[in-house]
């Protein structure tokens, strides 16, 4: 323990050097601004700004890239709150209550809670890395294909909890999401499935057009076609800061979210995503008035934001301790290190302690900077969403299109945006909720991959899911959670039936 | 509800929302089955590429039937078609963006897209919107192509 | 009621705005028949930014732009196992300003059941940049350190071993299938999404055997998490002094290596191809950073003429066609 603190102190010495402070600030700023643009999530942002770091020293460039990463993570939440536009998968959950808060004139409050929660989570998660990186890595190693599959199943059940309306409809959305997730190539044979001969979707449909089509565009149209609610909202004064009551409710949610995010973020692949909506589901289940969820419950913003920022930090762990990137953003960071002549590998901590500890310390600094950058901006954002809607919505639409195009430099993504906007509008008219669909879409891809992979490992033996203890526990939890979610609904219906 | 845009949406056939929802799900499942019909299904032990999508499609059909059936047991809202113009404008704008972006470049496309999108709302003030469109187009070009160095076409000759 | 039908004036206003914006931008001068190169050259990389191939290209792009006197941009178009990027290049004008960074997948995709393109018809090789052999590896805990021990161990555990694969159409997958059948080992594939996933799976014990490039594997071998068994060529390679080659290891496996280079769309004028070739050759010979980057991933610099590359690629297509047919693999 003492060792860790000594090293951390050394790390701060590196992080607080003026040039590293500058790079952290620059990175966080650039990441935030670009991440705010719909469609440009952390991955695209980091990839775009990668060349900027070519001329820097390794430690400095890592600090800057890390800043860009969590800056962009935060930027994605901004659009989720202001315009129901999830920048990437992890922001979908923020849309649910964050956007409702904005509609109620509490946008400033939502943005502030998101910023504060993210900062807290980021710093705590960083300390977690400092203290527990190696044991956490070993924990992550225990997760193989069967464990991932079971975790995703649990995640899917949690996705159902997210829905406000009928469970039946939420389940239907989950199933639809799973179906859409099959578009792309078969994970094993690479055989193209339902790709209509379009190679750009042979790797599956990218999440950005799906998210924008399901969330942003229908919302845009809804505000145009039924503007009465908007008129009432514009008249409300937009608060810039949370109330005492909101703080009181939010901070325990932040702590819980941080815990979940820190642990799940280590799991390479979908860990960080799962953590944001697992956090939401937990909050909804333990809240005193769950009816508020979906209508601007502040915990619904605080917990997922904390969770996804904590997850973003701990997702560095596999890269730093093993040298193996846990997700696409980490892979780009690994590439940046390789360019500098550093092979990310198991030796990085011991061979280049100033890199590891300097990076960690700068994460603390960077998260604090995010707060410094973003809190004053809240006033600006609030002014921005009060721009007359007749001017705002074409701008939002154009940025959606631009962001979507830039994902793969291809108009195919625009056609995807069209298709999913159509789907999103249909769902809206039929009173379905998009969140469970979006989540099951993302999870579905990983689920099938891991399901088939597990069967490859076991050479066709289904028992592998039960024989592996972690997997068995996860599956059992999923079943239990499902029952907890469905039974009250059934009980309610029986009560109603009896009363009649 | 839609007085703003004149005539009420067509509530022909007096279909309840739930019923239409169920039908939609059923059709989606059928679409899934059709799309993956040709893929090998395999057996539960050795799943082919088609097994999972086909199973999920079937499940979806069942949900569709279930929800549609439930719609008859209670009084739900009636399904109404919304007015056409805003949807046409927004979708039209996106289609134009897709068709034009690589052909005439970012600045003209952004302008055209914003103007077409403007058709969606009756409150659009064209002068304001046109100015905003030009400004945003130029700002985007500067931000993405100049500052970030992305290889995006700005006009039709570059 | 309903929409105030928008009047002629507002249509005119919008139209004017568009025309003004367009006219306001003065035509800067299109690329007439001027000497190549007279404007930016674009290299399409069919992988995500930051990947190891991308990095190799970027180290070359910078000095290349100095050689050619025009900016050289890198355009990442990931997807479809390289198909998306390839098709982007095939569809672009064959004027020398679009170049494709191609790898083995170009040859493999050509011999699929339903080929998305034909490298021999749709592309013109410009220059081969480098090549490197693959390296066979196992987990650090495996009781085998060289070819002989590996074979013994594999035969002892016949039927229980898996190999980590990057997909049916990946060159390493094809090689592993051959390894399994050629040495009678009965190893089954487990498909993952990339090198990092493969390595992690082998360290964790979910898969047992893998194949990848030396550069990627080096840090893990150094720390002992994995053990390198042999590299997949029959000749001695000075970059890997401590490893056995195929002959020494006694493994029945065809010589196979990862190669990459620049391609132009078919029909590109010879003048452009020659100039590009000369520029890249110069960079490969003289630029320290580029040579360094290649050495770091364990690659040998190749360079050479377009004709040499063309015959090499033709050979690769034939080899893959034969190998895939022999192995009974069906790749769609």
C-alpha span between C197 and C164 (Å, rounded): 9
Write the Ramachandran bin of B48: left for phi over 0, alpha for psi from -120 to 50, otherwise beta.
beta
Q: pTM for the full model?
A: 0.81
Chain B environment of A221 (Cβ under 8 Å):
86-87, 90, 120
Distance (Å) from the C-alpha of residue A398 to the closest C-alpha of chain B? 6
Residue in C closest to B110 by C-alpha: C18
Look at A175 and B60 and tell me if their CB atoms are within 8 Å.
yes
| pLDDT confidence of residue A325 | 81
Chain A environment of B35 (Cβ under 8 Å):
194
Close Cβ partners of A172 (under 8 Å, ≥ 6 residues apart): A432, B25, B60, B63, B64, B67
Chain B environment of C25 (Cβ under 8 Å):
107, 155
| pLDDT confidence of residue A290 | 81
Distance (Å) from the C-alpha of residue A395 to the closest C-alpha of chain B? 7
| pLDDT confidence of residue A124 | 93
- Tell me the C-alpha to C-alpha distance, in Å, between residue A122 and each of A238, A255, A265, A289, A369: 28, 11, 12, 28, 11
* Beta strand extents in C96-176 (DSSP E only): 98-103, 123-139, 162-165
Residue B1 has pLDDT above 50, yes or no: no
| Structure token pair of residue C279 | 């520029």
Task: State the average pLDDT for chain B.
Answer: 83
Q: Indicate the pLDDT class of residue A375, thresholds 50, 70 and 90.
A: confident
Which of C200, C201, C204, C290 to mutate to probe the A interface, most A CBs <10 Å? Answer: C200
- Three-class DSSP category at C304: coil
Higher pLDDT: C29 or A143? It is A143
C-alpha span between A292 and A300 (Å, rounded): 9
Share of chain C above pLDDT 70, in %: 88
| Least confident span in A11-20, A38-47, B69-78, C83-92 | A38-47
| pLDDT confidence of residue B46 | 61
Q: Indicate the pLDDT class of residue A307, thresholds 50, 70 and 90.
A: very high
Scan residues 65-84 of A and list those with Cβ closer than 8 Å to B: none
- Tell me the C-alpha to C-alpha distance, in Å, between residue B49 and each of A444, B40, B46, B81, C116: 15, 6, 10, 38, 20
| pLDDT confidence of residue A237 | 55
Interchain contact C113–A (C-beta under 8 A)? no
| Structure token pair of residue C69 | 């006197």
The three state secondary structure string of chain B is CCHHHCCCCCCHHHCEHHHHHHHHHHHHHHHHHHHHCCCCCECCCCECCCHHHHHHHHHHHHHHHHHHHHHCCCCCCECCCCCHHHHHHHHHHHHHHHHHHHHHCHHHHHHHHHHHHHCCCCCCCHHHHHHHHHHHHHHHHHHHHHHCCCCCCCCCCC
Interchain contact C115–A (C-beta under 8 A)? no
| Least confident span in A496-500, C175-179, C264-268 | A496-500
Look at A323 and C219 and tell me if their CB atoms are within 8 Å.
yes
The string of pLDDT tens digits covering residues C162-178 is 999 887 778 888 888 88
User: Are the CB atoms for A407 and A44 separated by under 8 Å?
Assistant: yes
- Three-class DSSP category at A33: helix
The string of pLDDT tens digits covering residues C167-211 is 777 888 888 888 888 888 888 888 887 788 888 899 888 999 999
Q: Indicate the pLDDT class of residue C22, thresholds 50, 70 and 90.
A: very low
| pLDDT confidence of residue A235 | 46
User: Are the CB atoms for A145 and A457 separated by under 8 Å?
Assistant: yes
User: Are the CB atoms for B115 and A376 separated by under 8 Å?
Assistant: no
C-alpha span between C37 and C34 (Å, rounded): 8
Q: Indicate the pLDDT class of residue C19, thresholds 50, 70 and 90.
A: very low
Angle of the A58-83 helix axis to the A353-385 helix axis, nearest 10: 30
Average pLDDT over residues A385-390: 82
C-alpha span between B35 and C4 (Å, rounded): 44
Euclidean distance between the first and the last CA atom of chain A, given in angstroms as a whole number: 64
Closest CA to C101 of C63, C49, C66: C49
Residue B13 has pLDDT above 80, yes or no: no
C-alpha span between B101 and B151 (Å, rounded): 13
Q: Indicate the pLDDT class of residue C236, thresholds 50, 70 and 90.
A: confident
Higher pLDDT: C137 or B76? It is C137
Look at B151 and C42 and tell me if their CB atoms are within 8 Å.
yes
Q: What is the ipTM of this complex?
A: 0.87
Distance (Å) from the C-alpha of residue B63 to the closest C-alpha of chain A? 6
Residue C1 has pLDDT above 50, yes or no: no
Chain B environment of C16 (Cβ under 8 Å):
130
Look at C75 and A409 and tell me if their CB atoms are within 8 Å.
yes
The string of pLDDT tens digits covering residues A27-75 is 888 888 777 777 677 777 777 777 777 778 888 888 888 888 888 888 8
- The partner residue sitting opposite B130, judged by closest CB among C4, C14, C30, is C14
Task: State the average pLDDT for chain C.
Answer: 81
- Three-class DSSP category at C229: strand
Which of C219, C289, C296, C324 to mutate to probe the A interface, most A CBs <10 Å? Answer: C219
Chain B environment of A226 (Cβ under 8 Å):
1-2, 4
| pLDDT confidence of residue A116 | 92
| pLDDT confidence of residue C216 | 80
Interchain contact A408–C (C-beta under 8 A)? yes
| pLDDT confidence of residue C21 | 41
* Beta strand extents in C7-161 (DSSP E only): 41-45, 72-76, 98-103, 123-139
Phi, psi at residue C229, to the nearest 5°?
-100, -55
Interchain contact A187–C (C-beta under 8 A)? yes
Residue C4 has pLDDT above 50, yes or no: no
Residue C18 has pLDDT above 70, yes or no: no
C-alpha span between C251 and C34 (Å, rounded): 55
C-alpha span between C191 and A450 (Å, rounded): 10
Q: Indicate the pLDDT class of residue C295, thresholds 50, 70 and 90.
A: confident
| Sign (positive or negative) of CA dihedral A458, A463, A469, A473 | positive
Distance (Å) from the C-alpha of residue A400 to the closest C-alpha of chain B? 9
Average pLDDT over residues A83-101: 85
The string of pLDDT tens digits covering residues B129-139 is 999 999 999 98
Residue in B closest to A45 by C-alpha: B148
Share of chain C above pLDDT 90, in %: 15
The string of pLDDT tens digits covering residues A314-358 is 888 888 888 888 777 888 788 777 767 777 777 777 777 878 888
- The partner residue sitting opposite B35, judged by closest CB among A171, A194, A398, is A194
C-alpha span between A49 and A45 (Å, rounded): 6
Look at A395 and B129 and tell me if their CB atoms are within 8 Å.
no
- Tell me the C-alpha to C-alpha distance, in Å, between residue A183 and each of A123, C105, C112, C151: 39, 22, 21, 40
| pLDDT confidence of residue A73 | 80
Residue C27 has pLDDT above 60, yes or no: no
Out of A304-318, B73-87, C44-58, the most confident range is A304-318
Residue B22 has pLDDT above 80, yes or no: yes
Chain C environment of A146 (Cβ under 8 Å):
none
Look at B115 and C25 and tell me if their CB atoms are within 8 Å.
no
| pLDDT confidence of residue C85 | 85
The string of pLDDT tens digits covering residues B95-122 is 999 999 988 889 999 999 999 999 998 8
C-alpha span between A216 and A187 (Å, rounded): 30
Average pLDDT over residues A138-151: 89
Distance (Å) from the C-alpha of residue A222 to the closest C-alpha of chain C? 16
Higher pLDDT: A433 or A189? It is A433
Distance (Å) from the C-alpha of residue C158 to the closest C-alpha of chain B? 21
Higher pLDDT: A147 or A40? It is A147
B: neighbours with 3+ CB pairs under 8 Å? A, C
- The partner residue sitting opposite A179, judged by closest CB among B2, B53, B101, is B53
According to DSSP, the residues that pair with C74 across neighbouring strands are C43
Which of C25, C73, C85 to mutate to probe the B interface, most B CBs <10 Å? Answer: C25
Chain C environment of A193 (Cβ under 8 Å):
none
C-alpha span between A313 and A264 (Å, rounded): 11
| pLDDT confidence of residue B82 | 87
Chain A environment of C206 (Cβ under 8 Å):
144-145, 457
Out of A111-120, A442-451, B9-18, the most confident range is A111-120
């Amino acid at each position: 323990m003492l060792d860790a603190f000594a090293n951390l102190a050394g790390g701060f010495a590196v992080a607080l050097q003026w040039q590293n402070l500058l790079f952290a600030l620059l990175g966080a700023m650039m990441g935030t601004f670009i991440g705010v643009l719909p469609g440009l999530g952390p991955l695209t942002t980091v990839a775009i700004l990668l060349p900027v770091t070519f001329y820097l020293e390794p430690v400095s460039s890592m600090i800057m890239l890390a800043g860009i990463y969590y800056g962009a993570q935060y930027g994605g939440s901004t659009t989720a709150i202001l315009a129901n536009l999830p920048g990437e998968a992890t922001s979908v959950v923020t849309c649910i209550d964050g956007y409702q808060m904005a509609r109620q004139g509490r946008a400033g409050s939502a943005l502030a809670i998101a910023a504060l929660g993210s900062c807290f989570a980021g710093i705590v998660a960083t300390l977690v890395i400092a203290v527990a990186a190696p044991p956490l890595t070993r924990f992550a190693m225990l997760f193989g294909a069967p464990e991932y599959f079971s975790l995703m199943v649990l995640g899917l059940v949690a996705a159902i909890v997210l829905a406000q309306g009928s469970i039946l409809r939420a389940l239907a959305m989950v199933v639809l999401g799973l179906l859409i997730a099959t578009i792309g190539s078969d994970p094993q044979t690479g055989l193209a499935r339902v790709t209509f001969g379009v190679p750009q979707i042979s790797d599956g449909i990218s999440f950005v057009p799906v998210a924008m089509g399901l969330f942003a565009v229908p919302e845009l149209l809804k505000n145009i076609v039924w503007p009465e609610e908007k008129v009432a909202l514009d008249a409300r004064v937009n608060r810039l800061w949370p109330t005492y009551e909101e703080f009181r409710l939010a901070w325990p949610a932040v702590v819980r979210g941080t815990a979940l995010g820190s642990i799940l973020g280590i799991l390479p692949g979908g860990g960080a995503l799962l953590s944001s909506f697992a956090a939401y589901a937990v909050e909804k289940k333990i809240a005193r008035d769950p009816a508020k969820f979906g209508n601007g419950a502040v915990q619904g913003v605080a917990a997922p934001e904390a969770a996804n920022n904590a997850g973003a930090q701990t997702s560095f762990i596999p890269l730093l301790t093993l040298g193996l990137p846990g997700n696409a953003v980490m892979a780009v960071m690994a590439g940046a290190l390789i360019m500098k002549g550093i092979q990310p590998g198991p030796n990085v901590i011991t061979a280049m302690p100033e890199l590891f500890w300097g990076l960690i310390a700068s994460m603390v600094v960077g998260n604090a900077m995010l707060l410094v950058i973003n809190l004053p901006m809240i006033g600006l954002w609030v002014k921005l969403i009060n721009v007359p809607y007749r001017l705002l919505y074409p701008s939002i639409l154009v940025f959606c299109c631009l962001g979507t195009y830039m994902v793969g430099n291809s108009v195919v993504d625009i056609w995807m945006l069209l298709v999913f906007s159509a789907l999103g509008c249909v769902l809206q008219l039929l009173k379905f909720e998009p969140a469970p669909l979006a989540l099951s879409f993302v999870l579905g891809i990983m689920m099938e991959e891991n399901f088939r992979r597990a069967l490859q490992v076991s050479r066709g033996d289904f028992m592998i899911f039960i024989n592996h203890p972690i997997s068995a526990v996860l599956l059992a939890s999923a079943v239990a959670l499902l029952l907890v979610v469905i039974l009250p609904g059934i009980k309610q219906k029986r009560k109603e039936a009896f009363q009649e | 509800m839609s007085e703003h845009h004149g005539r009420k949406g067509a509530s022909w056939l007096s279909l309840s929302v739930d019923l239409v929802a169920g039908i939609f799900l059923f059709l989606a499942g059928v679409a899934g089955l059709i799309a993956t019909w040709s893929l090998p299904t395999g057996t539960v032990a050795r799943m082919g590429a088609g097994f999972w999508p086909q199973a999920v499609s079937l499940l979806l059909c069942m949900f569709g039937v279930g929800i549609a059936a439930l719609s008859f047991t209670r009084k739900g809202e009636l399904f109404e078609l919304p007015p056409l113009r805003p949807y046409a404008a927004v979708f039209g704008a996106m289609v134009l963006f897709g068709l034009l972006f690589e052909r005439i470049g970012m600045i003209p496309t952004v302008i055209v897209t914003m103007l077409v999108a403007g058709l969606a709302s009756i409150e659009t003030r064209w002068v304001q919107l046109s100015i905003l469109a030009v400004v945003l187009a130029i700002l985007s070009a500067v931000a993405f192509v100049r500052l970030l160095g992305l290889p995006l076409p700005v006009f039709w000759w570059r | 009621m309903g929409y105030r039908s928008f009047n002629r004036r507002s249509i005119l206003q919008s139209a004017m705005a568009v025309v003004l914006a367009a006219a306001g931008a003065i035509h800067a001068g299109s690329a007439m028949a001027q000497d190549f190169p007279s404007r930016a050259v674009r290299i399409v990389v069919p992988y995500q930014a930051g990947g190891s191939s991308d990095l190799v290209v970027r180290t070359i792009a910078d000095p290349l732009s100095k050689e050619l006197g025009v900016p050289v941009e890198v355009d990442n178009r990931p997807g479809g196992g390289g198909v998306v990027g390839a098709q982007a290049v095939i569809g672009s004008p064959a004027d020398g300003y679009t170049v494709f960074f191609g790898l083995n997948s170009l040859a493999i995709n050509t011999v699929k059941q339903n080929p998305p393109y034909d490298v021999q018809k749709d592309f013109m090789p410009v220059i081969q940049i480098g090549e490197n052999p693959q390296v066979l590896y196992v987990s650090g805990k495996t009781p085998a350190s060289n070819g002989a021990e590996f074979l013994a161990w594999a035969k002892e555990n016949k039927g229980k071993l898996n190999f980590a694969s990057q997909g049916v159409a990946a060159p390493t997958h094809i090689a592993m299938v051959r390894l399994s059948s050629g040495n009678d080992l009965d190893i089954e594939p487990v498909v993952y999404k990339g090198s990092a996933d493969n390595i992690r799976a082998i360290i964790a014990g979910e898969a047992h055997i893998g194949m990848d490039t030396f550069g990627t594997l080096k840090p893990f071998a150094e720390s002992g998490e994995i053990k390198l068994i042999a590299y997949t060529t029959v000749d001695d390679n000075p970059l890997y002094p401590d490893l056995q080659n195929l002959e020494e290891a006694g493994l029945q496996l065809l010589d196979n290596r990862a190669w990459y280079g620049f391609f132009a769309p078919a029909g590109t004028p010879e003048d452009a191809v020659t100039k590009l070739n000369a520029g890249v050759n110069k960079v490969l010979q003289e630029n320290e950073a580029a040579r360094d980057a290649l050495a770091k991933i364990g690659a040998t610099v190749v360079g050479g003429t377009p004709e040499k590359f063309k015959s090499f690629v033709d050979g690769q297509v034939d080899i893959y066609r034969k190998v895939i047919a022999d192995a009974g693999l069906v790749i769609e």
